[in-house]
Structure 1
Amino acid sequence: MAANVESMFYVRETPWHGLGTKVLEAPASKDALQLAGLNWRVMQEPIYTAMEELVDGYKANVRDSDRKVLGVVTDRYRVIQNDEAFAFTDGLLGEGVKYETAGSLQGGRKVWLLAHMPHEYIISGERISPYMLFSNTHDGSGAIKVALTPIRVVCQNTLNLALAGAKRSWSMIHTGDIREKMQEAKDTLFLAEKYMDELGKEFEALRMKKLTDKQVMEYIEILLPVEDGSTPQQEKNMKRLREDMKIRYFDAPDLQEVGKNAYRFVNAVSDFATHAEPLRRTANYKENLFSRTVDGNPMIDKAYQMVSAA
Structure 2
Amino acid sequence: MDLKDFCFPVSQRAVAVDDFSGNLVDWGNENTYLTNGYKSIVRDDTNKVISIVKDSYRIIRNKTLINELLQFLAASGENFRIDDSHSFVQSNRMRLMVTFPNLTLQDSESDINLSLFLHNSYDMSEGVRFYFGAIRAVCTNGMVFGDILGRYYSKHTSGFSLEDFAEKLDEAKAHFPAIQRRIDTLEHVPANGELVEGVADKISKRLADQILAEMDVNRISQWQLLNRVTNYISHEVDKPHRARHQRSVSQLFGL
TM range (shorter): 0.7 to 0.9
* Aligned counterpart for 2:100 among listed residues 117, 129, 143: 117
Cα-to-partner distance string for 1:157-198 (whole Å, 9 max, x where unaligned):
3342443xx3232111112343xx332344332332244332
Matches within 5 A, 1:251-266: 264-266=221-223
Cα-to-partner distance string for 1:199-227 (whole Å, 9 max, x where unaligned):
113223444x543xxxx45346534669x
**What is the RMSD computed on CA atoms of the aligned residues?**
3.5
Answering whether residue 248 of structure 2 is matched by residue 298 of structure 1, we say yes
Letter in 1 for 2:70: D
* Aligned counterpart for 1:99 among listed residues 77, 82, 85: 82
Answering whether residue 16 of structure 2 is matched by residue 48 of structure 1, we say yes
Letter in 2 for 1:49: V
Q: Is the 8 A contact 2:233 2:242 kept in 1?
A: no
List gaps (5 residues or longer) in structure 2.
19-23, 26-32
Which whole-Å CA distance do the structure 2 matches of 1:196 and 1:276 have between them? 24
Q: Is the 8 A contact 2:186 2:222 kept in 1?
A: no
Report deviation, 1:148: 1.1
Q: Is the 8 A contact 2:80 2:100 kept in 1?
A: yes
Secondary structure of the corresponding residue to residue 48 of structure 1: coil
1:60 aligned residue: 40
Q: Is the 8 A contact 1:244 1:272 kept in 2?
A: no
* Aligned counterpart for 1:75 among listed residues 55, 78, 83: 55
Larger RCO, structures 1/2 (Cα 8 Å, 6+ apart):
1
Report deviation, 1:243: 2.1
Which whole-Å CA distance do the structure 1 matches of 2:216 and 2:66 have between them? 41
Matches within 5 A, 1:123-134: 123=106, 126-134=110-118
1:88 aligned residue: 68
Report deviation, 1:104: 1.7
Report deviation, 1:90: 0.7
Moved more, 265-274 or 168-177: 265-274
Matches within 5 A, 1:1-310: 9=1, 32-34=2-4, 37-50=5-18, 51-52=24-25, 53-94=33-74, 97-101=80-84, 102-105=87-90, 108-117=91-100, 119-123=102-106, 126-163=110-147, 166-178=148-160, 181-207=161-187, 209-211=188-190, 216-219=191-194, 222-223=197-198, 239-246=209-216, 264-275=221-232, 285-292=237-244, 296-299=246-249, 301-302=251-252, 304-305=253-254
TM-score (norm 1): 0.63
Secondary structure of the corresponding residue to residue 60 of structure 1: strand
Q: How many residues align?
A: 234
Secondary structure of the corresponding residue to residue 123 of structure 2: coil
Summarize the Cα distance change of 1:111–1:160 in structure 2 as closer, same or farther, 3 Å threshold.
closer
Aligned residues with identical type, % of pairs: 16
Which whole-Å CA distance do the structure 2 matches of 1:225 and 1:146 have between them? 27
List gaps (5 residues or longer) in structure 1.
1-8, 10-31, 227-234, 251-259
Summarize the Cα distance change of 1:223–1:142 in structure 2 as closer, same or farther, 3 Å threshold.
closer
